[in-house]
Structure 1
């Protein structure tokens, strides 16, 4: 009896279809992401209520000490007088309807305030992530390649330079760019908000011009991780037998470097990029504040200053959802980038 005929009845006796594991793996990952989202939402609900003192006092943004009548009114508005389980159920019900509450600082729905600033932050974080990956990975791969060719001086120079840059806080890099490019040379404005009517080519070009320094700050403060990852990965790949085989076939050195070594070395960065999205979001808060950039980071900083807790809760949920979506995207892309992962899953499922 052949192996295939032996395995099939065994799988059937256990009640498992041949592709069962392959079908369960994505569902298990989605279940993990759903669990993370539930924990984040629950913490978002619980933290203001677990803080010392009256939760209504946390929501109070007026001047001076609130009167008992004002606290009672706030408790009535936010439903803080109801049992905790009732509040939790209502919190989820409102969340599923897209109701994140009323911003006490803007006196507008939280979702409206966040959606108004969201495109600016998505553009900054997205382009910053892409730029940091491209610049850091190419520099790291180049440093490892030159090291493998015996050019240790070039590798050390790049390593020291990138590590020195990575040790600087993001706000300090931003202040240096403002001092040089804006204050001394006058090439770029020191603030990002384009004080012009929105719409039109002129506004779009001016907005892109004002975005250059915040974007450069995001990229320069983030390339260290990708440089070190690409450098370490490329160093490992250079010792792989398939590169010697490629050279034995007579392929040009540029084809070996770009078509074989670099492509394989960049695979670990695909998963790290999703994990780094959270760090970029937190870094965007500082960068946007430095440049008065009209994104979610400025909204969060302003909300902290005026104790706008509903807006802070909404921003936290939105950032958490963005990081989870980035991780789901990485799970979907990684098997496409690395055929070995796809092949191993097919073998396991068979």
Structure 2
């Protein structure tokens, strides 16, 4: 079965109110509010230009909330383990679980936090119609709703330095439910156009190295508007080794005019463990970092939230739900 994934599908008022004191510290970088870059500027820029100051830690994440609770309960061992997740810059997923008002608030708060720290935030859009082809992460907006929803995000990000990963699995899943292609390809292309107009650095998700043939994926990326994006993302919510993903990415890059790409290393520290869904033995991968710019790899990111369940498989809770036992195992078995 092809890999699917989910993110935390709700953020409680208590989490949203959590202090941003848990933000990752570090040296100040360039401010990340600026005149929007053109598509040509984004495509020609060095990674350091697109991620001024480095990667931002979003405020009010579930991992941060859990860490704060463990500290308050004086569970020092568990708190120290969860801090290895909560202190890292993990992408913030935006989906149909937020109302329009909540969406604007969450994005604005994350941008304000990132700009205070002089770092660059990463967001994920995840509301494509017929999401996950009805599997564990089923849901999404209607085709009519999707365009307006995406424009709301693009408008909120305009004038800010930010990165967006567009619709994990959406292109790869066309192999599983081919009837979705006629709807999702133009929707993603329109979304990329909106982000490009807002000057946002955009990566369209391209599955992973063991899913769709590179030539097939390159064709889908072209139809989905990669000509207006910075590039694509690989291995989101999956476990394949970084070397596999880099080789796959370089092949797809050559087939798409030299596109750049990012790799999700959030849970690939122990490599492939035989299943995409809550595998036993998985571990955190290398910590997120911006690349030097000497290759087409722009960054190694934590796009999937480590500790969020893939679904009701291998003993896991509902997709996107925080699973403490699994989070602790990921830390214990992290890449050394």
Larger radius of gyration: 1
TM-score by length of 2: 0.21
TM-score by length of 1: 0.20
